[in-house]
Amino acid sequence: MQIIPMKKIVLTAAGLLALTTTTLVSADLAVIANASLKIPALNQEQAQQLFLNKSTDYSQQKIVVLSNESGTNALFYKQVVKMSASKFRSYWSTQVFTGKGSAPIYLNSDSEVLDFVAKNKGAIGFVDADTVGKEVSTLLIIPSG
Amino acid sequence: MRFTPALLGAMLIAPYSFADIQFNGFLSAVGGKALDSPINGYEKDITFNNDSLFGLQARADISEKLSVTGQIVSLGENDFATELAWGYIAYKANNNLTLRMGRFRIPLYYYSDFLDVAYAYPWVSPSDDVYNLQLDNINGMDAIYKWTAFNAINVELQAYYGAINGDYKVNNTDDVLSAQTRDNLGFVASLGYSGFTLRTSVHQAQLSINNIDDIAAITALKTGVNQLTGIDSLKEAANNVLANLTVTDVASDYYEVALHYDGDYFFAVAEVANFSFESGPFAEQKRSLFSLGAPIGATVIYGSYSKADDESVNLSGELAAKKAGLDTLVAGLNALSTAFTVEREIRSLGVRYDFEPGAAFKVQYDNIEIVNQKNSNNVLRFGIDVVF
């Protein structure tokens, strides 16, 4: 019978765990803004207020929502605005049809969101953190899992 | 304010180069039937007009601070006549303060501002007991001030001033009164913390109804009471009665308090409203509603109870006490008073199912008990609400 050193077993287990984490769990979420918006790093509550049109700290935001069925999208509703996607839409209808805010723009991919946020003054959105480049500013990272 | 379809079409296709225009809309297609006798616009056969509506909004940001918002709404209950529900210019003085001028919703209730957008709430429509005032859009100006207190409480204050000209349909009759209010003045305060919102509002206005004599019963009663003013012993009592049969610059006061909770596991709404008049035939309206519901995935199940417990006006005054033999006249005055008094309880059960992004299917069953007529009716409604 071969004896496997204890240390090696632990290392193998750790390696397996690391592998599962990277393959099964989706990436972190990055809240991004157009570079013209002078918004410092945010915490979750401040990001929530921004996406729900409740913030009085910064003016004229255009909200962009990633609408594909990605883990990033699920993370946004669960960890940032803390409401279901349909409740978010329902909430926004109360803002739009009372003239209190401009309707969020729903886009289908990280690249479309990045492109829109980079090009539109006052735009705020969120994408998979791995896709963010220098064209936008990152305000908050929500870790996955 | 009504627009012809041609003018409306022109508004929609008119070229604008100075600003981006955002169009958003909402639609409710609702069918329903009265299960017993006709009530609330529903009859024994299924009809689709009463709660159906279509709305379209255009918003243009003219500059960073200035924007224009217009909303046209076609209500099924008005044969889909298109009306300018909102049309105002807004000036965002800073991040906290917005000033508006034009036509907007009078903020009487918690759900006033988005009453037409049924997608925004769980019910097919919020209870008629509280949400019953028909003069709902005002021409005037307002100021909205919002800020976040202690980094946690969202505070919003609104003050408005304006005037209304509108039609008012008298409860369950075909009589339509032409109502005017002047010097409308109101304040709204709303506090939001976590899932809770507490809202209170006070409003006042001078109400005039110039065509009140179009109600045949009122003309007949006035003729009857006028004959008594010649009798010395009845003169004062008769004049007091007559004073209540006209409505000119009558001071009216309205106040409302609502508590709303919306959480992960349930939502609850409680709202009370009181509407009173210094004189005239209209009862003091005492209204309340309570609703509770729970989301289960994409479905929301809810139940509601609401009550109208109006206090009628004693229109016959001292007449009966002063002189015997006026029974017919007194009975007529009492009947008129009752016609302006609602005593009703509504119990509702319903389901909302969000079947697509921006679209919800709803079914609602209402039991409507008209207490002062010992009359119980049931209505079943179903429909789809969308926003786009």
Contacts for B205 with CB less than 8 Å, ≥ 6 apart: B164, B181, B182, B183, B184, B185, B251, B252
Residue of B nearest to A56 (CA): B95
pLDDT higher than threshold 60 for residue B107: yes
Bridge partners of A98? none
Task: Determine contact, residues B384/B372, Cβ cutoff 8 Å.
Answer: no
Q: Which of A115-119, B78-82, B318-322, B379-383 comes out lowest in average pLDDT?
A: B318-322
The minimum CA-CA distance between A25 and chain B, rounded to whole Å, is 23
Distance CA B328, CA B334 (A): 10
Cross-chain Cβ contact B95/A97 below 8 Å:
no
Cross-chain Cβ contact B114/A97 below 8 Å:
yes
For B105, B305, B320, B331, the CA distances from B326, given in Å and listed in that order, are 45, 41, 7, 8
pLDDT for position B174? 74
Higher pLDDT, B332 or A17: B332
pLDDT for position B291? 98
Distance CA B258, CA B274 (A): 12
Cross-chain Cβ contact B26/A49 below 8 Å:
no
Angle between helices B216-226 and B327-339 (to 10 degrees): 140
The minimum CA-CA distance between B383 and chain A, rounded to whole Å, is 16
Q: Does pTM surpass 0.90? A: no
pLDDT higher than threshold 80 for residue B17: no
All residues of chain A having their beta carbon less than 8 Å from the beta carbon of residue B147 are 56
Minimal Cβ distance to B26: which of A59, A60, A97 = A97
All residues of chain B having their beta carbon less than 8 Å from the beta carbon of residue A91 are 120
| Inter-chain CB pairs, A–B, below 8 Å | 81
pLDDT higher than threshold 90 for residue B171: no
For B37, B123, B160, B172, B178, the CA distances from B364, given in Å and listed in that order, are 18, 7, 35, 22, 32
Angle between helices B216-226 and B232-243 (to 10 degrees): 160
Instruction: Provide ipTM, 2 decimals.
Output: 0.84
All residues of chain B having their beta carbon less than 8 Å from the beta carbon of residue A49 are 148, 154
Cross-chain Cβ contact B59/A99 below 8 Å:
yes
Cross-chain Cβ contact B69/A99 below 8 Å:
yes
pLDDT for position A60? 65
pLDDT higher than threshold 70 for residue B16: no
pLDDT higher than threshold 70 for residue B24: yes
Residue of B nearest to A60 (CA): B64
Q: Which of B96-105, B147-156, B321-330, B365-374 comes out lowest in average pLDDT?
A: B321-330
Cross-chain Cβ contact B117/A45 below 8 Å:
no
Taking residues B257-277, report their average pLDDT.
96
- CB neighbours of residue B293 within 10 Å: 19
Distance CA A27, CA B126 (A): 42
Environment class of residue B67 by beta-carbon count within 10 Å: exposed (0-12), middle (13-18) or buried (19+)?
Answer: buried
The one-character DSSP state at A78 is I
Q: Which of A8-12, B72-76, B133-137 comes out lowest in average pLDDT?
A: A8-12
pLDDT higher than threshold 60 for residue B32: yes
- B233 confidence band (pLDDT: 50, 70, 90): confident
pLDDT higher than threshold 90 for residue B12: no
Name the percent of chain B lying above pLDDT 70: 94
Residue of A nearest to B68 (CA): A99
One-character DSSP codes across B60-122: EE-SSSEEEEEEEEEEGGGTT-EEEEEEEEEEE-SSSEEEEEEEEE---STTGGGTT-GGGSS
pLDDT for position B172? 62
pLDDT for position B44? 94
pLDDT tens column, B307-326: 999 999 999 988 888 887 88
Distance CA B199, CA B346 (A): 23
Minimal Cβ distance to A56: which of B88, B148, B360 = B148
Per-residue pLDDT of chain A (145 residues), as tens digits, is 455 454 444 444 444 444 444 444 568 999 999 988 888 899 999 999 999 998 888 766 789 999 888 889 999 999 999 999 999 999 999 999 988 888 999 999 999 999 999 999 889 999 999 999 889 999 999 998 7
pLDDT for position A26? 62
Minimal Cβ distance to A103: which of B22, B95, B192 = B22
pLDDT for position B232? 85
Distance CA B337, CA B131 (A): 21
Interface mutation target, options A93, A105, A119, chain B, most CBs of B under 10 Å: A93
Higher pLDDT, B245 or B174: B245
pLDDT tens column, B196-216: 999 999 999 999 998 988 888
pLDDT tens column, A83-94: 999 999 999 999
Mean pLDDT is highest, among B110-119, B167-176, B214-223, for B110-119
The minimum CA-CA distance between B175 and chain A, rounded to whole Å, is 32
Distance CA B93, CA B140 (A): 18
Name the percent of chain B lying above pLDDT 90: 70
Distance CA B72, CA B265 (A): 36
Mean pLDDT is highest, among B12-16, B77-81, B133-137, B324-328, for B77-81
State phi, psi for B64 to the nearest 5 degrees: -60, -30
Averaged pLDDT of chain B: 91
- The H or E element that residue B377 is part of is strand B375-387
All residues of chain A having their beta carbon less than 8 Å from the beta carbon of residue B94 are 59
Q: Which of B70-79, B165-174, B321-330 comes out lowest in average pLDDT?
A: B165-174
Residues of B near A (CB-CB distance < 8 A)? 22, 24, 26, 55, 57, 59, 61, 64, 67, 69, 71, 86, 88, 90, 92, 94-96, 100, 104-105, 113-114, 116-117, 119-121, 146-148, 151-152, 154, 192, 262, 295, 298, 354, 357-358, 360, 387
The minimum CA-CA distance between A64 and chain B, rounded to whole Å, is 15
- B193 confidence band (pLDDT: 50, 70, 90): very high
Minimal Cβ distance to B357: which of A54, A89, A97 = A89
pLDDT higher than threshold 60 for residue B11: no
